[in-house]
Every structure is written in structure tokens, then in C-alpha cells.
Amino acid sequence: MRRHGGFDVVCLADRRGERAREAAERLKIPHHEQAAGVDELSVRDDVQAITCGTAPFAHERVIRSALEAGKHVLTEKPFTMTVQEGEELVALAQERGLVLAIVHNFQFAPSVRRLRRWLDSGKIGRVRAVWATQLSNPARRLPTWFDELPGGLFYDESPHLIYTARALAGADLEPVSVTVHPSTRGLQNTPAQVDAQMRAGEVPVSIQMNFEAPVSEWHVAVMGERGLGVVDLFRDIAVFTPNDGDHRAPEVIRTSASASWHHWLGYLRSGPGHVLGRLRYGNDEVFKRFHAGILTGKPPDGISGQDALAVLRVQHWILEARGRILI
């Protein structure tokens, strides 16, 4: 928000007052409060917008209190705990004429934008399929509450793959089939693996997430007639591999050279920021669109309440359709 320049951060609030104080001091925010909703804030009359970065269980409470107080809202994913909650909040925002937006940021990362330029220019050709894959190492830093969610860590992290695949496929995702493999580590809600097959128009879309992997990797691939475009979301790198024809030695060498070149070129662009922790992963564009939406009164494209609902519905379809084929 400070980099954008169009926001004046007035207050940082948390249901635990000490945490609010520590964060406000660290970030040099002038005011902090202990509060579980906007209705509890003493400065509520001094603000126009709220950002919600709480644990998912508290999203509905914070968002609803903000909208009822006449504030625009930008919330973290996952949107809400149920589809009904999400629908009610979107309707409330429309009724009050307020902007309700969600942090679906990776679709605006430089690597994904590069892949979209390849799509727009015809470099990849007619899209034949979209694949999104996540490998998650359970040893990495995770929120303490993740396994309390419906679907556990799946519920917290799947929005990133769903909205990115949806954006690249260019249409809403329709269900086909789901397979959920239960945890082998004794977790109550987080599965070992989720395999979801969908379609966007005529384009097949596959999302696979494994939560018991030895490494953490997030990749999204677009397969076209002319080539393959792959995005490494963590490293913010886009790689292009041309169609390898009949797969003889010269074509294999050509695709290997192209993939290697794009990988290292991408790391030259993003590597320093990755090492220094300065990659924005598209968050700058999220706040830019949120700001513009408040000024114009128009829902911000790609991160509106309707976009949040579209992703939320896919999440709950996956949770409810385990093992069923829905062709």
C-alpha cells in the first residue's frame, strides 16, 4: 500500500491487542487497537477501506462488519467458510454500493503476465489444456490452524491454483471429477493428495495438489498447439518450450535449450528479489485495482466479489464431490 502511494494506513487491529501493538510499532503505523470487527474500532469513522488478513474463520465477521459500517473491503483468500456466507457478503456489498475484493494475486505476477503475453501473441497457439500442480512439504512453515479448515491445507492454498488456472483458461471452471486421497500422516482434514478435473469451455483443466511431498513447488502450465508455457509461481519464472514435432534428437535438443534459456533468463529477472524477499507476486496489481475500484465504483477485474465466489464454489465442489464423476 505504501509503494502504491494512494493509501494512508490509519490503524492496525487484531483480536489480540499485544500482537496489534507489536506489528504497528514494527511497521510504523500510527494507531493500533484490539478488535475482532470494524464495529469495535474507535477509528471506524476515520477510514474508508479495510483489509482483512485474519485467519479464514474470522473473514466473514470482519468483512460483514466492514460492509455494514460502509467500508470497502479487500480480503485475503480463502474468501469465506461457506458459499452461502460468500453470496450474502457479495449481495451486501452490491446493496451498499461498496467494493468487495479478494487477494487473488499470483495471476498478476510478472511470470504469469509473461505467459499471458505469449498466449495473446499466438506464440503458444490454440490452448489445448491447462495443468496446475502444487507439491507441499509438510515441514515448511504453516499456520497453526490449517488442519482445522474443511479440507485442511487444501482449503487455504487451493485458491491460488484455481484462480490462476481460471484466468489462463479464460473461462469459469466446470466440474468433471475429483479424487481425494486421505492423509497418511494422521491429519484429520488435510488430505495426502487432491486430483480435480474440470473444463473451461472446451479446454480441460487439471489441478493436482500433494500435501506430503519432499519439496514445495507450485507450477501452472498451458499447453498449446505451438508450444508449452509453464510458470513457476514461487520463483516467479515463465518458461516456454516449442512444439517438438516428431520428437527426434534435434527437436529434443531445441526444447531443452529453450526451457533452459527461459529458466535462467527468468531467474536473472526475479532471482535477486527472491533471495531478498522482495518479490511482490502480483500484490502490487491487486492494490492498484482495489484503489481504482474505490475511486470509480466499478468491481475490480479479476479480484471482484464475483471472482471470489467463482473460486469459492470450485473449492466447495471439490470438497463435496469427492470420488464422484460428474460428466
| 147 and 208 fall within a common domain | yes
Residue of 312, 303, 306 lying closest to 104 (CA atoms): 303
Domain assignment present for 34: yes
Number of domains in the chain: 2
| 87 and 67 fall within a common domain | yes
User: CB atoms < 10 A from the CB of 122, how many?
Assistant: 11
**Gap between the Cα atoms of 139 and 142, Å rounded:** 8
Pair 196, 166: CB distance under 8 Å: no
- pLDDT tens track for 9-59: 999 999 999 999 999 999 999 999 999 999 999 999 999 999 999 999 999
Query: One-letter amino acid identity for 287?
Result: F
The residues facing 198 across adjacent strands are 175, 205
Question: CATH number for the domain including 60?
Answer: 3.40.50.720
Q: Where are the beta strands (DSSP E) in the chain?
A: 12-14, 32-34, 49-52, 72-75, 100-102, 127-135, 174-181, 193-200, 203-210, 217-224, 227-232, 237-242
Residue of 317, 307, 320 lying closest to 90 (CA atoms): 307
Domain assignment present for 6: no
- pLDDT tens track for 262-319: 888 878 888 888 777 888 999 999 999 999 999 999 999 999 999 999 999 999 999 9
Q: Does the N-terminal peptide bond of residue 143 adopt cis geometry, omega within 30 degrees of 0?
A: no
Which position has the grid cell 514494527? 26
Query: What average pLDDT does this structure show over 163-176?
Result: 96
Domain assignment present for 4: no
pTM value is 0.94
pLDDT of residue 323 exceeding 60: no
Domain assignment present for 227: yes
| 172 and 273 fall within a common domain | yes
176 or 262, which is more confident?
176
Domain assignment present for 327: no
**Gap between the Cα atoms of 298 and 54, Å rounded:** 25
Residue 327: its pLDDT value, please? 41
Domain of residue 55 covers 12-105+283-303
| 207 and 254 fall within a common domain | yes
| 193 and 155 fall within a common domain | yes
Domain assignment present for 229: yes
**Gap between the Cα atoms of 287 and 285, Å rounded:** 5
Domain assignment present for 233: yes
| 98 and 139 fall within a common domain | no
Question: CATH number for the domain including 191?
Answer: 3.30.360.10
Pair 266, 236: CB distance under 8 Å: yes
| 208 and 156 fall within a common domain | yes
The residues facing 181 across adjacent strands are 193
| 115 and 75 fall within a common domain | no
Pair 115, 107: CB distance under 8 Å: no
| 114 and 66 fall within a common domain | no
The residues facing 102 across adjacent strands are 75
- pLDDT tens track for 230-249: 999 999 999 999 999 988 89
Domain assignment present for 7: no
The residues facing 200 across adjacent strands are 203
Enumerate the H helices of 38-109 as residue ranges: 59-68, 83-96
